[in-house]
Structure 1
Amino acid sequence: MAASPAVIDLGGAGVRPVLHGRERESQALRQLLATPGDGSVSVLLQGDWGSGKTALLREVLAGVREDPNVLVLSASVDPLERELPFGTVRQFFENLTMGDAPDRGRTWLSADGDRGAAPWAPRPGAQAVPAAEPDPAALGDLYRLVVRLTDHRRLVMVVDDLQRADPCSLRWLRYVLCRGAELPVVVLATLGEEGTHANTDALADVVPLFGHRLTLRGLAEEAVASLAEEILGQPPGPGLTTACREASGGNPLLLRAVLRGVRAAGPYHAVAGPAVRIAEYVPVDLGRAVLARIEVLAPHAVTTATAVAVLGREPSIDLLVEVTGLAEPQIEDAVHGLVRAGCLTRTAAGPSFGCEALAAAVASTVLPSRRMDLHVRAARFLRARGASAARVAVHLLPGPLGEAWAPEVLARAAELAGGRGDTDEAAAYVRRALREELDDESRAGLLASLGRLELATSVPVAVRSLERSLRLCRDPAERTAVARRLAGALLALDRHCDALDVLRRTGEHVREADPANAMRLEIDHIHIALTNAPSAPDVVKRLMELNVLDAVDAGVRRPLAALLSLREVMVGRCPEEVVSLARLALGQGVDPMSDDSVVYYDALISLRAAGETELALEHADAAVRQACARGSVLGQVQALGVRANLAGRLGRLAESQADAASALGELRGIGIGPSHSFAVFATATSMDSLVRQGKPDDAEDLLQRADLAGELNSNWVNDHVLMVRGRLRVAQGRLDEGLTDFLLCGERASARGMSGPGFHSWRSEAALVQAALRRAEAARSLAAEELRLARIWGVPETVGTALHAMGLVLGGVKGLDLLREAVGLLAGAPAHLRYARALADCGVLARKAGRLPEARTCLQRAASVAHECGATPLVDLALAELRAVGDRPRTRTFHGVASLTPTERRVADLAIQGITNREIAQHLFVGLRTVEVHLTNVYGKLAIDGRAGLASALAFSEAPGSRLPDNGAAVGPERLPQLSGVSG
């Protein structure tokens, strides 16, 4: 009984210039072939078809053949020789040259040493034996010949594709392996896929006798990259390398075929990443080679394999029976053979190919008409069995036209795919449905669905589909929905007039039949008209006439309330009414189901103006989540932009910048550049955050890349750009340019009827610049007007901002009083960066007035709040002023864990462990009073009463994104002029 062979499984690691990824296997074979001594060595090289067994053999044997002390006998088995006794052995000895034979002749030695016929030739008078059972005498003759050949040299016998060898040759090889253990013989054989083993009994007797086995696995990533570079002529990207490896399973033969197809297709860097896309580059000649290999596995292997390749997705056996017309046992036999050969894998659902390249190769051999026939048979069968629309639609996509039920199934499949967020798949189903014969109503509905899906990938393409749908729509409700969606898409492309025209014409068309939808269109029309200065005057009168009671149903009441909340901010009426209308508008969120419109964002702007920034942020958060769940890119972008702006007002500068960057990235993905109005808002918000963080150069770079440094059009969003650009210019020391931007913002807002301070505090910003330019009268006039309007509006944040500006403009004791009032109002408002600025400026004036304790308190608090917001310039200002007071600040903040000195932190950590003050004093070798002082300082910096809250306060302060408590309000910033102390 032979000992268990040493199995050498070396995977695909390593890279070799010629045999990529097979260096370790090659080295192992060379070492085995070079093993000294008289004993035999046997190696079985295993691997699937295309794994590179033959190439590895040739590479290793190329050097061995050059050694004069080694004789190499090789046989490459052909399937035709399976029935020929000793067919493989014949290849060994018939190829011997005169110099190779031990007797320097080509005749053979008989059993008694006489020259005679070849051992496999029938002996005169010998009894006939079955073809599978060799003549024992012949085995002896051949073995003695092997002994003679090893008299003066080492013998290497190589069999490629051992599984194809005839039974007689396999029996003889077993004879050699059993009896030739002491001979200097190397037996090297390759063994292919299991399904091609014709002589399983004879083979099963031979395989266990091999002393070593090497298994070739799929090539590793680095080997694939090396091979790709060789074939493509340049290094591939990591995405292409991974995709090619996944598509081919690392099989060298398949991989080379895929890479050749990629090279022939053109610039490989444009090839998509997923394996299923890479498989499209598989050349047709590979498919023919695969079929030739499959043909010998089972009687119906080709028919079954092509059906599986075309249908994909693990077709069931009964489905294969239906589409091929074969009997179930025939399909089962074919699948069994294909699975044994490693071509297919099988699960409970059905068989499938192991890698996409193999499936694509087989499918490429099928005629288009045959493919379509297979798919339509599959679709009919699955529909009759009650399969889901998604399963049926997969086969309708490549199937022929003409099935009356196809549009309905495809539309349902598109709906399901869209619900999963797979907009590309959903769009493919809708486009396929549109190729069928349809009435206008059905076609309009499908085009509307397609347009909605295309908004996630290309807004210009979506516009064309929505325009076609609108032309075919007859139902007033459907016309309204399509018109509003189309108007939003046109706005994204800055086609402002076209959007207004669509809404106006559609409103006129549906007004008589559907007054409610006519009003819904009018609401959007007014909203869009207000965003552009030339069209705003035409709708202001109508806006002022509207009342929430004019809405005929809830579907109109909510958007009307959103629009009216904006109107109340425009006219500067009571903030309570604004909040009430905004809450009504947002009863179903910013993005209600089946109500695509940006008018609901008016309610968020109104809430922010009314001082309810945190409530607005909650709705913006929900809007982002909802848009992501629906796969609405435009909705996601709008929600991200607004959330970024609101986060900036609350002091979350890093979050604000991240949201703005995400919005810009999403817009680029759907063909909207940085100069479009949808992108401009996010760009300006990101710039604002950068300026407040002390990064004016980065903000300037963003401004230039978005082409916002020159003249801006009259779109409402550019008012925001002017404010941010003005702050940037001031931070750069370009005060005159900043002042121009602030005043232009005010001029445009006034022309639009939005001159109140609830939208932009342009007067306060301009007043501070005028003061810095020593234009005292102009500064006082602007600041006074801002304060008057702010007091009428009555929102603490707005009044506090105006008081802050007026205090800086006036300066002195009177200015200090106004700043104290501003600090008191802003302390309870959500605009905490404005609060920090007011504190810093109050500290500056207090220091100049000689009130050092007050100055110290204000400046320390200002530094802490600004530090939490990430407003670096404001922190630097507060610390510089503290040094002027005579302090020596050791940290950049005076609250929270970051403000604790090393000793204070050490005392706090010991106190958390439950150690008494006296024990802490003993541990640190300090007095008891010193410990008490340190703990008192810790409690003050963490805003807690004693030890009970120490552990939780430390944990909270160290948590990512935490905010310091301050009078019950969270710390956060607002847009500020960055001019603290300019009037002093």
Structure 2
Amino acid sequence: MADRRVPEHTDQRLTRSVPRRSNNGSRRSTDPHSLLERATALRAVLSGSPQVVVSGGLGCGRTALVRAALARSSTQVASATAVPSERTVPFGIAHQLAPRLSLTRPTLVAVDDVQHADPESVAFLVWLRRFPNVRVVVTHSAADSPHRAGLSTWEQVWLRPLSPDADPELHVLSGGNPALLAALRDDGGKVGPAARRTLLDLLRGTDSALFDVACGLAVLGPHTALLSALTERHQAAVTALTSTLADSGLLDGGRFRLPGAAEILLGALPRVQAVALHERAAMLLHNAGAPDTAVAAHCVAAQTVGEQVGGTAMLRRAARSATSGLAAESLRLALRACDPADAQAVRLELGQVLWRTDPAAAARTLLPCSGLDPAVLRARWWQGDFSLGLPDRRPAELSLCHEFITGRELLPVNPEAVLQRQHADSAPEALVQALRQVGPARFEHWLTVLERQAVEPTLRALLGCVRAEDAWRRGDVVATAAFAEAALAGLSTDGWGVVIGLPLRFTLLANAALGRETEPHPVPDALFGTAFGPHYRHARGHHHLALNRPHAALDDFTACDDRLGVAEARLALGQLKPAKALLEEEITSTADPRTTGIALRLLARTAARTDRPRLLREAVRNLEHAGDRLELSRALADLGHDRRDRGALAEARLLGRRAGRESGLPGEPGAAEGVLSAAERKVAALAAAGHSNREIGRRLCVTVSTVEQHLTRVYRKLEVAGRNDLPRELLTR
């Protein structure tokens, strides 16, 4: 007895209520939109012409529609499924149907995949039309078959992909193909195992010709004009098979809609077959005069290159205009295949390409090279190695690279001219150094230009450092931290080399100002022999001060000859006389308003009570002129504390609020736990409880000066004028 049920098909999932997962993981019922779109076709099957052929693209729901018709039919049902292996078995389908057939009672005869049926069974189905009680419904794939002509007089029902109304986002990926749409839903809205398996099942479940054409499309990409030659099939057959894919919603203008479809198809091929396809595609593209980059992409995929497609010369030409990834892979292949005499030249080209994305890999490629080639010198300097000496010819870019690393110029350079002449192979560090040297009026313009063009990680990371440097100069601590941390993450630790001191400098400075501890980060010893060494020590010294490590801070400030830092560290240690001498010497020897303002603010801590207001007001004037908002906020906060101590509470409160605005630091009183460091919270809690600075210092085993510094930062962060305004909730922390 024939089985009434139609065998399970992937499309069946669209004909029933399938649990779906929403974005938050909860289950919800499926919108029956797919069945609603098939309502007209379903009526045609159940009550239309006595003979119906249901056709459509791959996975468009032919089996699903017939299953829905069988479930709704009130008549007797006789169903069967044709399979390719039984095409040569005469009357194979007819024998399956015969036990369930009744020529006197209403009967619905359904045959799935009739294109695989034997000719005798198809003739039997046509013969059944003479019986008015028998309705015959067959499904037929979109691909042609010998039976299509014999069934051409039947009513034709064509199932198209679903409209985007039900699920617009997934429609973009699936093209409305019901089977693929259901698989994407199972994968949570992204291309996962179900979608990959469904795509392969759809394409491999048909004859091999369709799968071959699909793989050809996956290999050729936009060069579909060569598909017939690649697959060695007649153009008319290729056009018909491509139309089948398009009618199924799988293609959009000759390209697969599903992201990663090409990789899925080629990954299903044996490696030998995939390589052969890429080799043939490279040959066809080369003969057709396609760009070198298109030919090189296939050579890289096959990991072979022959003289018939241009050899290593073609790969080197392609690298000049290819993306960094393809350029690097092309040159790696060229390096393996080239003559030994050309190896160093190819290695130099490869190193320059790698420099855009991974300076560590570039260094490994370039360091074995001999001579004083600029690329080799840059790689060595980036690692802190200056042992090779300098070339006789010193281009402007090389001089800027040397100055960026060492702080010493090789020859005068016009930075604006270097920026105007920039091109794809320009050294990122040279462009950044030129940017740092242009005047303030042109800085923002060139920074915007470079950021718009920067698509490679090395230049993007260095420009992030420049943004952090500019933000710190303006006193914008929050922006400094964001830019520095983003830049630091842009390259690996090895990739940064000695230049890691640049982003780390601003990370340490910003975190110190924010009261946050910076995660330990290894730095190479060679860093301290470069221009970044003193700046890194200076930043690390301030970080030590913020964490109440004045002795470590003093060591760093002394090593980098930072008199202001040394003075501040000595103030934290309670060494007022040597600190005062250093500050007075600094004020006398500098004309920089920022340095003068900082020195005056620190000097006020050592001065007599009567002199403090004058020094602090002078510090505020200098820092307003300098434009450093962070240092200005510190001077305003100190002046506010002095005014509070003198009883001028209204003025102190105004100064405290202005200090908070200038600093730009997060500082709502209710957010103390998240803003203050651990040391600052302890000091603030004791101060809020009414303890004097001396009592707090005795309890925490720190100097009175350290307590004052912590309280200064607390007042600034919480935007309060003094200890009387500290939030009471600090007592409960």
Q: Same fold (TM over 0.5)?
A: yes
In the TM superposition, 1:239-254 aligns within 5 A as 241-242=190-191, 250-251=198-199, 253-254=201-202
Equivalent residue in structure 2 for 1:312, among 197, 209, 220: 220
Give the C-alpha shift of residue 810 in structure 1.
0.6
1:337 matches 2:240? yes
CA contact (8 A) 1:624 1:640 kept: no
Conserved 8 A contact 2:54-2:157: no
- The letter of the residue matching 1:484 is L
Q: Does 2:327 match 1:426?
A: yes
- The one-letter code of the counterpart of 1:77 is A
Residue 217 in 1 paired to residue 163 in 2?
no
Change (3 A) 1:631 1:719: same
2:560 aligned counterpart, secondary structure: helix
What are the Cα deviations for residues 436-464 of structure 1, in whole angstroms up to 9, with x where unaligned?
Answer: 44463x43332222112223444443223
1:485 and 2:360 correspond: no
2:395 is aligned with 1:447: no
SS in 2 for 1:828: helix
Provide the residue aligned with 1:162 in structure 2: 114
| Residue 392 (str. 1) matches residue 295 (str. 2) | yes
Q: Secondary structure at the match of 2:111?
A: strand
Instruction: Note the C-alpha offset of 1:488.
Output: 4.4
Q: Deviations over 1:541-563 (max 9, x none)?
A: xx7xxxx8xx7xxxx421xxxxx
Structure 2 letter corresponding to 1:430: L
Give SS of 1:812's match.
Answer: coil
Q: 1:630 to 1:638 in 2, by over 3 A?
A: closer
Matches within 5 A, 1:771-790: 773=574, 775-790=575-590
Distance change >3 Å, CA 252–CA 393, structure 1 → 2 = closer
- Structure 1: how far apart are the matches of 2:434 and 2:85? 82
- The equivalent residue for 1:692 is 513
Tell whether the 8 Å contact from 2:320 to 2:327 is kept in structure 1 after alignment.
Answer: yes
Counterpart-to-counterpart distance in 2, 1:195 and 1:851: 91
CA positional deviation for 1:585: 4.5
User: Counterpart in 2 of 1:740?
Assistant: 551
How far apart in 1 are the matches of 2:215 and 2:34?
A: 39
- SS of equivalent to 2:412: helix
> Secondary structure, in 3 states, of the residue corresponding to 1:333?
helix
**1:171 aligned partner, one-letter code:** V
Q: Does 1:146 align with 2:103?
A: yes
Q: Is the 8 A contact 2:356 2:459 kept in 1?
A: no
Distance 1:978 1:807 in 2: 16
Is 2:280 aligned against 1:374? yes
- Which of 563, 571, 595 is the equivalent residue of 1:798? 595
Whether the aligned pair in 1 keeps the contact of 2:180 and 2:199 (CA below 8 Å) is no
In structure 2, C-alpha distance between the alignment counterparts of 1:740 and 1:424, rounded to whole Å: 48
Instruction: Indicate conservation of the 8 Å contact 2:161/2:178, yes or no.
Output: no
Hey, what's the Cα distance between the residues in 2 that align with 1:308 and 1:432? 24
**8 Å contact kept, 1:637–1:663:** yes
Measured at CA, do residues 221 and 662 of structure 1 come closer, stay the same or move farther in structure 2, by a change above 3 Å? farther
Q: Cα deviation per residue 1:54-102 (whole Å; 9 max; x = unaligned)?
A: 69979998x99xx9x9865333335698899976444311xx2xxx6xx
| Structure 1 Cα separation of the partners of residues 640 and 157 of structure 2 | 92
Alpha-carbon distance between aligned partners in 1 of 2:160 and 2:129, rounded to the nearest angstrom: 16
Q: Which of 865, 885, 897 is 2:662 aligned to?
A: 865
1:657 offset after TM fit, Å? Answer: 1.9
* Contact 1:723–1:745, Cα closer than 8 Å, also in 2: yes
Displacement of 1:820:
1.5
Give the alignment partner of residue 80 of structure 2, picking from 75, 86, 95. 75
The CA RMSD over aligned residues, in Å, is 5.4
For residues 339 and 91 of structure 1, what CA distance do their matches in structure 2 show?
34
Structure 1, residues 409-448: CA drift from partner, whole Å, max 9, x if none? 322222212xxxx3111212222333444463x4333222
Distance 1:53 1:364, change over 3 A: farther
Distance 1:163 1:358, change over 3 A: farther
- Unpaired segments ≥5 residues, structure 1: 1-7, 101-141, 229-237, 255-285, 296-300, 474-478, 531-542, 559-583, 878-975
Contact 1:11 1:217 in 2 (8 A): no
- What residue number does 2:483 align with? 659
Please tell me whether the aligned partners of residues 509 and 539 of structure 2 are also in contact (alpha carbons under 8 angstroms): yes
Deviations 1:801-849 (A, max 9, x none): 1111112321422121111111112112221221122122223323434
For residues 87 and 722 of structure 2, the distance between their equivalents in structure 1, rounded to whole angstroms, comes to 103
Partner residue, 1:405 = 310
Letter in 2 for 1:848: D
Equivalence for 2:167: none
1:640 deviates by: 1.3
Partner of residue 466, structure 1:
366
In structure 1, the residue matched to 2:473 is: 649
- Whether the 8 Å contact between 1:382 and 1:392 is mirrored in structure 2 is no
Q: How many equivalent pairs are there?
A: 636
Task: Compute the displacement of 1:647 (Å).
Answer: 0.4
The separation in 2 between residues aligned to 1:819 and 1:402, in whole angstroms, is: 77
Aligned-partner Cα distance in 1 for 2:533–2:16:
58
Alpha carbons of structure 1 residues 170 and 596: separation in structure 2 relative to 1, 3 Å? same
- Cα drift, residue 39 of structure 1: 8.6
Q: Judging changes above 3 Å, is the alpha-carbon distance between structure 1 residues 219 and 686 closer, same or farther for their aligned structure 2 residues?
A: farther
Amino acid at match of 1:686: T
Which one-letter code corresponds to 1:305 in the other structure? V
Q: Which residue of 2 aligns with 1:257?
A: none
**Partner Cα separation in structure 2 for residue 599 and residue 39 of structure 1:** 77
Q: Which residue of 1 aligns with 2:604?
A: 807
**1:743 aligned counterpart, secondary structure:** helix
> Quick one: distance in 1 between partners of 2:569 and 2:612?
17
Question: Is residue 10–residue 24 contact of structure 1 (8 Å, CA) maintained in 2?
Answer: no
> Whole-Å Cα distance in 2 between the matches of residues 428 and 461 of structure 1?
13
Of the three residues 749, 755, 775, the one matched with 2:560 is: 749
Identity %: 21
Please give the TM-score of this superposition, normalised by the length of structure 2. Answer: 0.69
Asked if the contact 1:45–1:189 (Cα under 8 Å) also holds between the matched residues in 2, the reply is yes
Q: 1: distance between equivalents of 2:472 and 2:403?
A: 28
Instruction: Write the letter of the residue equivalent to 2:378.
Output: R
Quick check: 2:55–2:62 contact (8 Å CA) kept in 1? yes
Structure 2 counterpart of 1:765, from 561, 568, 572: 568
SS of the counterpart of 1:517? Answer: coil
Runs of 5+ unmatched residues, structure 2: 1-10, 21-28, 163-175, 676-710, 724-733
Q: Deviations over 1:338-389 (max 9, x none)?
A: 1344389999999667753785378649747854662353144123xxx322
Q: Counterpart of 1:147 in 2: which secondary structure?
A: coil
Contact 2:636 2:659 in 1 (8 A): yes
Please list, as runs of the form range in 1=range in 2, the aligned pairs for 1:193-342 lying within 5 A after superposition.
194-208=142-156, 217-219=177-179, 223-224=183-184, 226=186, 241-242=190-191, 250-251=198-199, 253-254=201-202, 293-295=207-209, 305=213, 308-309=216-217, 311-317=219-225, 319=226, 331-342=234-245
The residue type paired with residue 490 of structure 2 is E
Q: Whose radius of gyration is greater, 1 or 2? A: 1
Amino acid in structure 2 at the alignment position of 1:356: A
Aligned to 1:596: 427
Measure how far apart 1:619 and its partner are: 3.6
Answer yes or no: is 1:415 the counterpart of 2:320.
Answer: yes
TM-score normalized with structure 1 length: 0.54
Q: Do the aligned partners of residues 11 and 450 (structure 1) sit closer, same or farther apart at CA in structure 2, a change above 3 Å counting?
A: farther
- Quick check: 1:191 aligned with 2:84? no
Q: Is the 8 A contact 1:638 1:678 kept in 2?
A: no
> Which of 489, 500, 503 lines up with 2:386 in the alignment?
500
In 2, Cα distance between equivalents of 1:12 and 1:425: 45
Q: Distance in 2 between matches of 1:830 and 1:522?
A: 31
User: Structure 1's 54 and 357: CA in aligned 2 closer, same or farther, altered over 3 A?
Assistant: farther
- Structure 1, residues 690-727: CA drift from partner, whole Å, max 9, x if none? 3433xx3xx32x334x368x9x9776645445444444
Compared CA separation, residues 842 and 309, structure 1 to 2 (3 A): closer
Q: Summarize the Cα distance change of 1:361–1:716 in structure 2 as closer, same or farther, 3 Å threshold.
A: closer
What is aligned with 1:951? none
